[in-house]
Amino acid sequence: MADATIILAGGVGTRLWPASLRESPKQLLRIGGGPSLIQRAITLAVAATAVGPIVIVTHRDHVRAIEEHVAQLEIDAPGVSGRVVYLPEPVGRNTAPAIALGIIYLRSILPGDAQVLVLTADHVIGPPDQFASDAAAACELAASGNLVCFGITPDRPETGYGYIRAGVQRGRGFQVDAFTEKPDLPTAQEYLSRGGYYWNAGMFCFSIGGFLTEMGNHAPEIAAAFMDSGDAVGTEETPAGSRTADPDGLATLYAGLPRISIDYALMEKSPHVAVVPATFSWSDVGSWDEVARVPRDSSRDTADADRPGVIEVEADGNHVDSDLPVAICGVSDIHVVVRNGKVLVCRRGSSQLVKQVVETAESADMRDLL
């Protein structure tokens, strides 16, 4: 098992507008019924991490809301609040600084050979015991100095994900030959037919020392900034028993950091990267098309158009996510989302365009929509 887990919970999820807003981001949504996405991530961390800390890196404005979701987990997982540490970012700088922040904190309380899982708070993954098994395989590879990522076996020629090309087998995984950008459709079809390619799930496992060594080699400016951060990542206990850092203490540190993903900063540069093919189910629910693929449970967050409150007349193949009754007549294969007093209508298969809606609202100073 891993010795600690870092959960990245700093995004907003603009492609799930209008359900996901700045004040209530994607990780707080309940997709497919049951727990919220952040609660699902914590459940995975508990399953895959022995008794160590669960570090949540998020924006400073979201800490209180996440604390409420963590408190709700105490019923099924007593004591989980006491394992959680909040590291509130004053401003988002993408995943490389966020992971480095978590690692530098963990370095202050754990040895350099401690194995750390890095999860994201906005995916739907299951079941937890299957994930824990794959995480254990990743820890074995990480113990020999690898930076390990999780690969999802493609079931369709997807153009919305980056891919990992597997090389020589290493235990339950493979050495990574290459990372590839989001492909066009013919290339994605070739990857699918050829085999040996995996979707990049954006989750990782490595030792504290292994990560810091490779960051020093390939992203020295980020490594140096955090290594010199001193007491900036100190934490204090909260009334709920968790621990949290002072975001104001991180402001100076973050002001000089680049905005860069861990893939660009490190994973694509290091020669010591391995991939473990996932046996767990996975969806990044990164668009309404992906939400529609998640099996429906008893939740309003994901629903097909046969649920109560939705009437269809000469219409089929529609996906409805609404907090109001909806009637659909004479149209097929669309998303209808009515949330937070806002409405989205989008053709299924085109939901990546929703991000442009958010960008348009920002440029037009229509921030009340966001």
Structural domains present in the chain: 4-286 (3.90.550.10), 298-369 (no CATH)
- Token pair, residue 221, equals 């400016």
Distance (Å, whole) CA 173 – CA 181: 21
- State pLDDT tens for residues 345-368: 999 999 999 999 999 999 999 988
- Strand segments, DSSP code E, in the chain are 4-9, 54-59, 84-89, 115-120, 124-126, 147-152, 163-170, 173-180, 197-207, 235-237, 243-245, 273-277, 281-283, 303-304, 310-313, 319-322, 326-329, 334-339, 342-347
Q: How confident is the model at residue 252 (pLDDT cuts 50, 70, 90)?
A: confident
- The residue-averaged pLDDT of 321-328 equals 92
- State pLDDT tens for residues 130-159: 999 999 999 999 999 999 999 999 999 999
- State pLDDT tens for residues 20-57: 998 889 999 998 778 999 999 999 999 999 889 999 99
Is the Cβ–Cβ distance between 104 and 233 less than 8 Å?
Answer: yes
Residue type, 42: I
- The residue-averaged pLDDT of 245-273 equals 92
Is the Cβ–Cβ distance between 154 and 281 less than 8 Å?
Answer: no
